[in-house]
């Protein structure tokens, strides 16, 4: 029930990490994917939020982010990175849930939404949320390989960030939309 972007996202993350992906497919037998990543000297530790934790105190503490992402792993990691940076994160796994959540909330400061949602797309989500929060800034994210998809227009108060992105890239994009100081 996905959008078929999982493999391209995985490929982007692997290559961005200095690794490579090997695929083998045998008709009637299935496919095998091998992921090769370089060894790092760090024995353990979560890389999310290491640099984002250095944000100036108070710049994001009261900012409410509505995060809309249908991939559970990406939703979980992105939520954690935003929380570590001091954002208050509201999560929705699909567009309809996001619209309901925005309707019930007393405040939403910024919406971060995947474009390729299974029920209603990210632009429709933004339009419906703006019926309740007309001035809310929207950051669209997508796993489309390459540049900004031509059908996505980003007027004032909107921006686009391609997947995969780092926590720092996401936080910087949100800060630019909100005109918060960028560290």
Choice among 16-20, 32-36, 51-55, 154-158 with the minimum mean pLDDT:
51-55
Q: What CATH number corresponds to the domain at position 108?
A: 3.40.50.2300
pLDDT surpasses 50 at 58: no
On whether the CB atoms of residues 166 and 126 are closer than 8 A, the answer is: no
Q: Are residues 23 and 69 in the same domain?
A: no
Q: What is the pLDDT of residues 126-182, one digit of tens each?
A: 999 999 889 999 999 988 655 455 455 556 789 999 988 899 999 999 999 998 544
Which of 113, 73, 57, 123 minimizes the C-alpha distance to 90?
Answer: 113
Location of structure tokens 């849930």: 97
What value does the mean pLDDT take over residues 45-66? 56
- The tally of domains found in the chain comes to 2
Burial label for 171, CB within 10 Å (0-12, 13-18, 19+), is buried
What value does the mean pLDDT take over residues 37-57? 47
Which of 4, 10, 40 minimizes the C-alpha distance to 23?
Answer: 10
Q: Are residues 25 and 109 in the same domain?
A: no
27 belongs to a structural domain:
yes
Full domain range(s) for residue 102 = 52-178
* Cα–Cα–Cα angle for 37, 38, 42, rounded to 5 degrees: 115
43 belongs to a structural domain:
no
Q: Are residues 74 and 27 in the same domain?
A: no
pLDDT surpasses 70 at 97: yes
């Amino acid at each position: 029930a996905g959008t078929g972007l999982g493999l391209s996202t995985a490929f982007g993350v692997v290559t961005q990490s200095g690794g490579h992906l090997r695929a083998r497919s045998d008709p009637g037998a299935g496919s095998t994917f091998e992921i090769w990543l370089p060894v790092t000297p760090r024995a353990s530790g979560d890389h999310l939020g290491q640099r984002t934790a250095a944000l100036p105190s108070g710049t994001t503490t009261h900012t409410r982010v509505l995060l809309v992402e249908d991939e559970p792993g990406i939703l979980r990691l992105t939520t954690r990175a935003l929380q570590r940076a001091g954002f208050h994160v509201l999560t929705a796994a699909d567009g309809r849930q996001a619209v309901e959540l925005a309707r019930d909330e007393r405040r939403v400061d910024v919406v971060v939404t995947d474009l390729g949602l299974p029920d209603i797309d990210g632009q429709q989500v933004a339009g419906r949320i703006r019926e309740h929060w007309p001035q809310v800034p929207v950051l669209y994210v997508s796993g489309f390989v390459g540049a900004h998809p031509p059908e996505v227009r980003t007027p004032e108060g909107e921006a686009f960030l391609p997947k995969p992105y780092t926590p720092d890239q996401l936080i910087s994009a949100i800060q630019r939309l909100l005109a918060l100081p960028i560290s």
